Structure 1
Amino acid sequence: MDLRYPIGDFEYGKSYSFEDIKAAIAAIAVLPFNLTELVGKWGDDRLDTPYRPEGWTVRQLVHHIADSHLNAYVRTKLALTEENPTIKGYEEAEWAKLPDSALSVAPSLVIISNLHLRWVTVLESLTEADFDRTYYHPGYQRSFRLGEVMALYAWHSEHHYQHIYQLAKREQWI
Structure 2
Amino acid sequence: MTDLRYPIGHFTSPEEITEDIKQKWIQTLEDFPLRLENLVKDLSEEQLETPYRDGGWTVRQVVHHCADSHHNSYIRFKWALTEENPLIKAYNEADWAELFDTKTGPINMSILHLKAVHAKLVYLLRGLSDSDLKKTFIHPESKEAVLLLVNIGIYAWHCNHHYAHIEHLLIRKGWK
Indicate whether the TM-score tops 0.5: yes
How far the C-alpha of 1:128 sits from its partner, in A, is: 2.1
How far the C-alpha of 1:117 sits from its partner, in A, is: 0.5
Alignment of 1:120-159 (within 5 A): 120-159=122-161
CA distance in 2 between partners of 1:3 and 1:160 (Å): 11
Residue type of the partner of 2:171? K
How far the C-alpha of 1:111 sits from its partner, in A, is: 0.2
How far the C-alpha of 1:41 sits from its partner, in A, is: 2.6
Aligned to 2:117: 115
Structure 1 unaligned runs (5+)? none
Aligned to 2:83: 82
Does the CA-based 8 Å contact 2:13-2:153 persist in structure 1? Answer: no
Percent identical: 42
Write the deviation string for residues 99-158 of structure 1: whole angstroms up to 9, x where unpaired.
Answer: 111111010010001110011000011122221111111111111000110010000000
CA distance in 1 between partners of 2:54 and 2:169 (Å): 11
Aligned to 1:32: 33
SS for the counterpart of 2:129 is coil
CA distance in 2 between partners of 1:15 and 1:137 (Å): 22
Structure 2 unaligned runs (5+)? none
CA distance in 2 between partners of 1:79 and 1:19 (Å): 23
CA distance in 1 between partners of 2:83 and 2:42 (Å): 41
SS for the counterpart of 2:137 is strand
CA distance in 1 between partners of 2:13 and 2:94 (Å): 21
CA distance in 2 between partners of 1:21 and 1:106 (Å): 29
Aligned residues: 174
How far the C-alpha of 1:169 sits from its partner, in A, is: 0.8
How far the C-alpha of 1:14 sits from its partner, in A, is: 4.7
How far the C-alpha of 1:24 sits from its partner, in A, is: 0.8
CA distance in 2 between partners of 1:11 and 1:78 (Å): 24
> 2:17 matched to 1:16?
yes
State the TM-score, normalizing by the size of structure 1.
0.96
Does the CA-based 8 Å contact 1:18-1:128 persist in structure 2? Answer: no
How far the C-alpha of 1:15 sits from its partner, in A, is: 4.7
